[in-house]
Copies of this chain bind each other. A is one copy, B any other.
């Protein structure tokens, strides 16, 4: 592995609980270096999955949290001023393409469409990245793969990927895990008993039913892990759930009452 990307290697196996054939499908996609799009709600495990796959495939992983301010230069690289003039510095996408890492663009719809188009030549059969400012045409390393994540719930007229971008990717759907699987995850990650974990998952299921009926999003697995870790530190379950599940989710008094009631039902 090239030293420039060695820091990005995932050295310890991340805890990932597969819920279907997503691991096999991803491996097949990686085998043909198909660019991949991971779809699903916030906090359901997309980032963890790509970390797990990077570890399994033994490839370095370069993650970029996308945002509206991100320019093409932030992805591709720029000239820095040096004692001897300017020096080119590869951006994360170039680094990954040049040295063979998996490049993961997290929440790619946040980026402006025009920033997104810089990935086009890397996602068709050319697999090149033109560094226009440097006048260099980088041919992607054979290990390079591009992965993006995408929350369909956020998609709007203003913020959606262009069809000409979407069609360059294979796609995998993610959702919150089944109750039994989620219970196992919460217990494993926080150390609370299976019983407590099960109650937390029960609260989450109630809350997820309220999505679209006053809540923009349900309670994510990540939030359950937060609540569980407070309970494991001897915080009272009611206080822990209010602090980690209810208050962050909504400021609406009625929704808070409904969620508090759900918590009381289980604890």
Q: What is the interface of chain A, defined by CB distance below 8 A to chain B?
A: 7-8, 21, 25, 28-29, 31-32, 34, 37, 39, 42-43, 47-48, 63-72, 74, 78-86, 89-92, 95, 106-107, 110, 112-115, 117-118, 120-121, 124-126, 130, 132-133, 135, 137, 151-152, 154-155, 162-164, 166-173, 216-217, 220, 222-223, 226, 229-230, 233-235, 239, 243-244, 247-249, 251
Q: If A167-B222, A222-B167 touch, does A68 touch B243 (CB 8 Å cutoff)?
A: no
Q: List 24 A-B contacts (CB under 8 A).
A: A25-B235, A28-B234, A37-B248, A43-B164, A43-B168, A63-B130, A64-B130, A65-B130, A68-B112, A69-B72, A74-B132, A74-B133, A89-B133, A89-B135, A106-B120, A151-B164, A155-B251, A167-B217, A167-B222, A168-B222, A170-B230, A170-B248, A171-B243, A171-B247
What chain B residues lie within 8 Å of A114 (beta carbons)?
67-70, 110
> Shortest CB–CB separation between residue A145 and chain B, in angstroms?
13
Distance in angstroms between the alpha carbons of A201 and B165 in the assembled complex? 21
Task: Tell me which of B8, B65, B130 contacts A137 (CB under 8 A).
Answer: B8
What chain B residues lie within 8 Å of A37 (beta carbons)?
247-248
Distance in angstroms between the alpha carbons of A118 and B223 in the assembled complex? 19
Given A68-B112, A69-B71, A90-B135, 12 additional A-B pairs, CB 8 A: A21-B239, A25-B235, A28-B234, A31-B233, A39-B247, A43-B167, A47-B126, A67-B114, A69-B115, A81-B81, A106-B120, A173-B247
What chain B residues lie within 8 Å of A243 (beta carbons)?
25, 29, 170-172
A7 touches B137 (CB 8 A): yes
What chain B residues lie within 8 Å of A249 (beta carbons)?
166-167
7 interchain residue pairs of minimum CB distance: A67-B114, A171-B247, A68-B114, A42-B164, A83-B85, A163-B217, A152-B251
What chain B residues lie within 8 Å of A130 (beta carbons)?
63-65, 92
A28 touches B65 (CB 8 A): no
